[in-house]
């Protein structure tokens, strides 16, 4: 599956210069990891965000979101944000920061 390179580039620009961030091809898309823990990624036109199990309900109340169920089974603590809900840079930035902050709180891999 191809992924939206434009969205990936916008994420790179937001995360630029952070030495703890790495990129990795995953799920047919691109993932951005914090100390080895996935924080956000791009799959197709959508943004994958790791919000954690406790953050899922609040995240799903926001516009353009849905459960991340790549295999037909929901992945706990993950949501997808539709690409068309990310037109505003501040909206994208808020999602990136939410995923980054959650992943940064996990033990490094």
Tens digits of per-residue pLDDT, 55-77? 999 999 999 999 998 788 888 99
Host domain of residue 16: 5-104
Query: What is the pLDDT at residue 21?
Result: 97
Flag whether 109 is in a domain: no
- Over residues 20-38, the mean pLDDT reads 95
pLDDT tier for residue 17 given thresholds of 50, 70 and 90: confident
Q: Give yes or no for residue 32 having a pLDDT over 80.
A: yes
Tally of domains in the chain: 1
Closest C-alpha among 43, 46, 59, 68 to residue 94:
59
Query: What is the pLDDT at residue 16?
Result: 87
Flag whether 98 is in a domain: yes
The torsion angle over the Cα atoms of residues 66, 32, 21 and 100, rounded to 10 degrees, is 0
Looking at residue 24, which CATH number applies to its domain?
3.90.1150.30
What is the spatial distance between Cα 37 and Cα 60, in angstroms, rounded to a whole number? 22
Q: For the chain, what is the mean pLDDT?
A: 95
The torsion angle over the Cα atoms of residues 96, 33, 51 and 92, rounded to 10 degrees, is 10
Q: Which residues of 12-44 are buried (b: 16+ CB within 10 A; e: fewer)?
A: eebbeeeeebeeeeebebbbbbbeebbbbbbbb
- Over residues 81-91, the mean pLDDT reads 97
- Over residues 12-37, the mean pLDDT reads 94
pLDDT tier for residue 1 given thresholds of 50, 70 and 90: low
- Check if the beta carbon of residue 86 is closer than 8 Å to that of residue 54: no
pLDDT tier for residue 27 given thresholds of 50, 70 and 90: confident
């Amino acid at each position: 599956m191809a992924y939206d390179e434009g969205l990936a580039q916008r994420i790179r620009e937001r995360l630029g210069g952070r030495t703890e961030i790495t990129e990795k091809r995953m799920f047919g898309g691109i993932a951005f990891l914090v100390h080895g823990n996935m924080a956000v990624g791009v799959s197709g036109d959508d943004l994958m965000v790791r919000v954690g199990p406790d953050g899922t309900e609040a995240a799903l109340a926001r516009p353009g979101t849905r459960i991340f169920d790549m295999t037909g089974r929901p992945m706990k603590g993950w949501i997808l944000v539709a690409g068309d809900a990310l037109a505003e840079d501040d909206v994208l930035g808020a999602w990136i920061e939410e995923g980054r902050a959650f992943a940064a709180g996990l033990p490094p891999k």
